Structure 1
Amino acid sequence: MIRPVFAALSHSFFSSLGIALFAFAIFPAAAQGQEIKVTLLGTGCPPAVMNRFGPSTLVEAGGQKFIFDAGRGALQRLNQVKVPWQAIDAVFLTHLHSDHVVGFPDLWLTGWLVGRPGRDRPLKVWGPRGTKRMMSFLEQAFEFDIRIRLDDDRAPPDGVVLIAEDITEGAVYQNSGVKITAFEVDHTPVKPAFGYRIDYLGRSVVLSGDTRISENLIQHAQNVDLLVHNVVSPETFQRIGVPPARAANIIAHHTTPEQAGEVFARTKPKLAVYSHIVLPNATEQDLIPPTRKTYLGPVELGEDLTVIEVGEKVEVRRP
């Protein structure tokens, strides 16, 4: 099912529409290649449920593929959408909470071994302070397995190499027209925590990561085509009997639907999509009506394997 969520075209757009349609007719593959394709691999949080795997997002642009966060089940979801792990160009981490990284060893090591061939080139990993140290410890933790796979399975030696880097706010990747910018968000006490903006040929996507209302995110997400934002539903904690003090602490680290609506109203994205749903038992009724108190524009509740194609229109395909 494909649903266009933005079709309002300015007069200036019509001046170039004829050229764009001509190009699409003559070079359809090239025109399609101007899109950014976003796949929500996992839209959940720490609870181990089957309908919402751990937070992870696949972004494809300019013939390149990037993973943002690698929560539980990221490799399985990647396999479901038939994207080979060896095709991933880089991994970007928003922060180092376990639910955002626990799927990384599986992506890294299983992806190295499985396939014809498995991954045969080093993997670049960018993230906040501590990322490089974490990757070095993972290499130590799996040293036995790595050595056996190299000696016995003859796995490609370059495929297990991690090239990790601790980043700061700013442009962290530029290649073939794709620009990825990291910006700090407010996930206090976790500092730094990043959101990411992906720009490609005039298209733009912002991934919030985990954050409460962030003025810095609002600045970086102005008039973006797609804003994927975290959300927390207070009602979900009440339904399963989480102690109020514990619930209040978790809620304070994220963004409620009403607060997210304020962010959307101020940034004016063509489409806003909820991901990293806290808690994963949250329903559309829990999230969308409260959002409407502060925002009347296009908004969707993301689910695992949802695909959003960002082109002249922003289109959503449900799994």
Structure 2
Amino acid sequence: MDDRLVILGSKGGPAIRPGGPNPTSMLLTLGGRHIVIDCGLGVTRGLVETGLSLKDLDLVFITHLHSDHVLELGPLLHTAWTTGLSKPVTVYGPEGTALLWHNFLVSLDFDIRTRIADEGRPDLAGLVIVREYGEGPVLEEGTMIVSALRVDHPPVTDCFALKFVQAGKTVVLSSDTAYFPPLSDFAAGADLLVHEAMLPEGVESIIRRTGNGARLREHLYASHTLAADAGRLATQARVKKLVLNHLIPADDPAFTEADWRQALASVWSGPLVVAQDGLAIPF
């Protein structure tokens, strides 16, 4: 299969609404590897819809432990197991990922023990290897190199942008972050930069709908990146293609793709993709 990124969930934040997109998850196919990045609600169904057999799960990367990035990690691995997974899957995540996985196994202990005894399945715990990472090198395997950059996503400290390099191709994912200029060096010359994005008008719309007022506004502006700033960073980094993802807002019909493109019109002149669930992006 050709190198591509499939957006499985394009929404920023954990809430879901009728007919709206799913929270964050992606499938990166690179050099023949199938790499799941983040596991928000809907990741399992989204993967199946791409045509990937869950038995072929290979690598999973978690950028940070907010629920819209990890809520379906355990269910994804469990569902792959019930589908016939028989070879190990390695999960890379920040500190706390191993505890998250352990507690999922505890919560499903009855089901797992019952299926092992009744259906002859292998022990699920033995099929999942969790490796916790910090800033710097994460994985070097064959011709693939993965590295991490700590980004600015308060109050979360362990939140990481990820860079995948394989056979001359580079893909960088910002994770959740406020505008963070060091990302331009980290992503320099990348074939694909996937960056979170927020519309200021959309923030006000969200506040009106949720009623959290000034506190929510303060969090969003302290922890996330305006779309225009994502475009500025992509220009500074001279990336070949920019993808806006983890959209805030992503499920408000008052805002369309035209609004996102208009927000970047003066700061980014290269190829631009505005994420949608199920969208496949070749590079």
TM-score norm. by structure 2 comes to 0.91
Q: Is the contact between residue 154 and residue 222 of structure 2 (CA under 8 Å) also seen in structure 1? A: no
Structure-1 residue corresponding to 2:79: 110
Structure-1 residue corresponding to 2:111: 145
The one of 101, 106, 109 equivalent to 1:135 is: 101
The one of 59, 65, 68 equivalent to 2:34 is: 65
Q: Is the contact between residue 105 and residue 125 of structure 2 (CA under 8 Å) also seen in structure 1? A: no
State the identity as a percent. 30
Q: Which amino acid aligns with 2:85?
A: R
The one of 282, 287, 291 equivalent to 2:264 is: 291
Question: How far apart, CA to CA, are the structure 2 residues paired with 1:248 and 1:189?
Answer: 12
Q: Which amino acid aligns with 2:64?
A: H
Structure-2 residue corresponding to 1:226: 192
Structure-2 residue corresponding to 1:277: 247
Range with greater deviation from structure 2 (79-88 or 162-171) = 162-171
Question: How far apart, CA to CA, are the structure 1 residues paired with 2:21 and 2:126?
Answer: 28
Structure-2 residue corresponding to 1:3: none
Q: Which amino acid aligns with 2:10?
A: T
Q: Which amino acid aligns with 2:202?
A: T
Aligned-pair distance for 1:84?
A: 1.0
Question: How far apart, CA to CA, are the structure 1 residues paired with 2:276 and 2:170?
Answer: 21
Question: How far apart, CA to CA, are the structure 1 residues paired with 2:281 and 2:192?
Answer: 9
Question: How far apart, CA to CA, are the structure 1 residues paired with 2:107 and 2:181?
Answer: 39
After superposition, give the CA deviation of every residue in 1:16-47 in whole Å (9 maximum; x if it has no partner).
Answer: xxxxxxxxxxxxxxxxx7x5321111111312
Q: Is the contact between residue 69 and residue 91 of structure 1 (CA under 8 Å) also seen in structure 2? A: yes
The answer to whether residue 206 in structure 2 is matched with residue 206 in structure 1 is no
From the superposition, tell whether residues 168 and 131 of structure 1 become closer, same or farther in structure 2 (CA, over 3 Å).
Answer: same
- 1:170-209 matches, within 5 Å, as 170-209=136-175
| Unaligned runs of at least 5 residues, structure 1 | 1-32, 311-319
The alignment covers a number of residue pairs equal to 274
The one of 201, 214, 218 equivalent to 1:235 is: 201
| Unaligned runs of at least 5 residues, structure 2 | none
The answer to whether residue 88 in structure 2 is matched with residue 84 in structure 1 is no
Range with greater deviation from structure 2 (154-163 or 182-191) = 154-163
Question: How far apart, CA to CA, are the structure 2 residues paired with 1:295 and 1:85?
Answer: 37
Q: Which amino acid aligns with 2:3?
A: I
Question: How far apart, CA to CA, are the structure 1 residues paired with 2:26 and 2:126?
Answer: 22
After superposition, give the CA deviation of every residue in 1:197-252 in whole Å (9 maximum; x if it has no partner).
Answer: 11111111101110111233211100111000101122223235142442232232
After superposition, give the CA deviation of every residue in 1:64-115 in whole Å (9 maximum; x if it has no partner).
Answer: 111110000001010111101121211110000001011112211111102x
Structure-1 residue corresponding to 2:235: 265
Q: Which amino acid aligns with 1:305?
A: G
Which 4+ runs in 1 deviate beyond 4 A? none
Structure-2 residue corresponding to 1:7: none
Structure-1 residue corresponding to 2:92: 126
Q: Which amino acid aligns with 1:234?
A: P
Structure-2 residue corresponding to 1:301: 274
TM-score norm. by structure 1 comes to 0.81
Aligned-pair distance for 1:283?
A: 2.2
